[in-house]
C-alpha cells in the first residue's frame, strides 16, 4: 500500500509540473518548434510555444476550424548561435525557405523563455516570418 501511494504521489507531481512539454535547452526548444512548423502539426506547435500564446492560437484556430500552420515554406534550418540572458535566450537560425520556387537562405531569430523550468519559444519576440496568416483561406 505504501508503494502504491508513493507511486501515485510521484505521478501527480509529474502531472502538476506539466510533464515533458517544453525543452531542456533553448536550442532544443527552437528545433522542436521549427520541426513542428515544417510538419504543420498544430499540437506540436502549441507544445513548443509558451502556454499563453499556445492557448490563444488554439482558441482562434478552433473557432475558425482550420490549420493556419499548413503553409510553412521552411525547407531546412540550422542553429548557428545562442545568446543566453538569464531565463531568456536568443537562438539564431539559418533558415532556407522556398520563395517563388527558389531556395532563399537567411538568418532568423527564435526567442525562447523558461516556463516552469522548461524552454519554450515565444512568438512575440521571434522573427515575424514564423507567423502565418491569421485568415482562413477562401
CATH of 22-127 given 2.40.30.10, 3.10.450.50, 3.40.50.150, 2.160.20.10:
3.10.450.50
- How crowded is residue 34: how many other Cβ atoms within 10 Å of its Cβ? 24
Interval 12-29: pLDDT, tens: 334 444 445 889 999 999
Domain spans, the chain = 22-127
Is pLDDT of 104 > 70? yes
pLDDT of 135 > 60? The answer is no
38-92 confidence digits (pLDDT tens):
998 888 988 999 998 888 888 877 777 767 777 778 999 999 999 999 999 999 9
Under a CB-based contact definition with an 8 Å cutoff, are residues 91 and 82 in contact?
A: yes
pLDDT at 133: 60
Rounded Cα–Cα distance for residues 71 and 137 (Å)? 11
How many other β-carbons are positioned within 10 Å of the β-carbon of residue 12?
Answer: 10
Cα–Cα distance measured from residue 102 to residue 137, given in angstroms and rounded to the nearest whole number: 24
Radius of gyration of the chain (CA): 17
Amino acid at each position: 500500500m505504501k508503494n502504491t501511494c508513493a507511486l501515485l504521489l510521484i505521478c501527480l507531481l509529474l502531472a502538476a509540473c506539466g510533464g515533458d512539454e517544453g525543452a531542456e535547452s533553448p536550442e532544443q526548444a527552437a528545433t522542436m518548434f521549427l520541426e513542428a512548423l515544417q510538419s504543420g502539426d498544430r499540437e506540436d506547435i502549441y507544445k513548443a510555444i509558451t502556454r499563453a500564446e499556445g492557448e490563444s492560437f488554439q482558441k482562434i484556430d478552433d473557432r475558425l476550424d482550420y490549420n493556419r500552420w499548413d503553409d510553412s515554406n521552411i525547407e531546412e534550418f540550422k542553429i548557428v548561435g545562442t545568446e543566453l540572458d538569464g531565463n531568456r535566450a536568443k537562438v539564431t537560425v539559418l533558415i532556407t525557405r522556398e520563395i517563388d520556387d527558389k531556395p532563399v537562405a537567411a538568418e532568423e531569430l527564435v526567442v525562447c523563455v523558461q516556463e516552469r523550468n522548461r524552454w519554450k519559444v515565444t512568438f512575440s519576440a521571434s522573427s515575424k516570418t514564423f507567423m502565418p496568416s491569421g485568415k482562413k483561406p477562401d
